[in-house]
Amino acid sequence: PLTADFAWHRVSFSTALLLQVLPAVSLALALHLLPLAARWREQREHAAEAKRLREAAAVADLARQVTLAELKTLQAQVEPHFLYNTLAGIQYLVRHNAGLADRMLGRLHDYLRLALPAMRAPMSTLAQEFALAEAYLALMQMRLGERLTVTLDLPPALAERAFPPLMLGTLIENALHHGIEPKPGGGKAALAAF
């Protein structure tokens, strides 16, 4: 039969054994749990970084979409303005200088042949944009005469570089409208890629 002394002796023996084993068990548990805690913290940091990267990519994509929408809006504003002015110039020339009107109409055809597909494209190349700029500037030279001189410089190594469509045309149109047309003596339009 079990007596109270025996049970007490057993409890004190278990406590003594536990006190001897506890440091080793604690050390083993710590050695096992510390890497788990470090791995858990690392996984949380990776998840947080992945979330930040996804959010940054979403913001960048939204900014790109806004920029493209603004560019399309600007293109929609610039093209009719240019087209109306060119057609008005051709109409005037038909009455006063039919040969020049015919040449100007041919240049407008060249320009529109290049510009219309570019309006629908999400991206262009420098070669395409320089060709479009050259057609545009040829029309403007016909309109401004000797008041406008033009130089274009596109190194062959840069010809296939990606470039937003119709952006050069917008810059050139603003440069001519604000820089050359108001001057009685005109000026020079120089377009170079480097």
Q: Determine contact, residues 89/181, Cβ cutoff 8 Å.
A: no
Is 60 exceeded by the pLDDT of residue 3? no
Find tokens 């005109």 and name the residue. 186
Is 90 exceeded by the pLDDT of residue 93? no
pLDDT, tens digit, for every residue of 16-37? 666 777 788 788 887 888 888 8
Q: What is the pLDDT confidence band of residue 46, given thresholds at 50, 70 and 90?
A: very high
Is 90 exceeded by the pLDDT of residue 79? no
**Tokens describing residue 119:** 């309006």
Is 60 exceeded by the pLDDT of residue 2? no
Is 80 exceeded by the pLDDT of residue 106? yes
Q: Mean pLDDT across the stretch 127-152?
A: 90
Residue 33: per-residue pLDDT: 83
Is 80 exceeded by the pLDDT of residue 77? no
Rounded Cα–Cα distance for residues 137 and 111 (Å) = 9
Is 60 exceeded by the pLDDT of residue 112? yes
**Tokens describing residue 118:** 């570019």
Residue 73: per-residue pLDDT: 62
Question: At a CB cut-off of 8 Å and minimum separation 6, what does 131 contact?
Answer: 114
